[in-house]
Amino acid sequence: MKNHISSTRIGEVLSVLDEMRQAGIVDKYAIGGAFAAILHNEPISTIDLDIFFFFKEKQSSRVLSLDPIYEFAKGHGFSFDHEFINIHGWLVQFVEASHSKLWAEAIENALSLSIDSRDAFVIDKEHLVAMWLFAGRAKDYQKIAMFVDANILDNERLTKILERHDLLVKWETEKWRFTNE
Binding status of residue 4 toward another protein by CB under 8 A: yes
- How far, in whole angstroms, is CA 90 from its chain's centroid? 14
User: 118, 15 in Cβ contact below 8 A?
Assistant: yes
Q: What is the DSSP track for 116-175? A: TTEEEEE--HHHHHHHHHHH--HHHHHHHHHHHHHT---HHHHHHHHHHTT-HHHHHHHG
Query: How many chain residues are in contact with another protein, going by CB under 8 A?
Result: 32
Per CB under 8 A, the segment of 5-13, 56-64, 66-74, 133-141 that binds another protein is: 5-13
Q: How far is the CB of 53 from another protein (least distance, A)?
A: 20
Instruction: Looking at residues 119 to 178 of the shown chain, list those that interact with another protein (rule: CB under 8 A).
Output: 120, 150, 152
Provide, rounded to whole angstroms, the least separation between the CB of residue 65 and another protein: 22
Classify 52 as helix, strand or coil. strand
Interface with another protein includes 16 (CB under 8 A)?
no
Q: Which of 81, 99, 156, 181 binds another protein (CB under 8 A)?
A: 81
41 interacts with another protein by CB under 8 A: yes
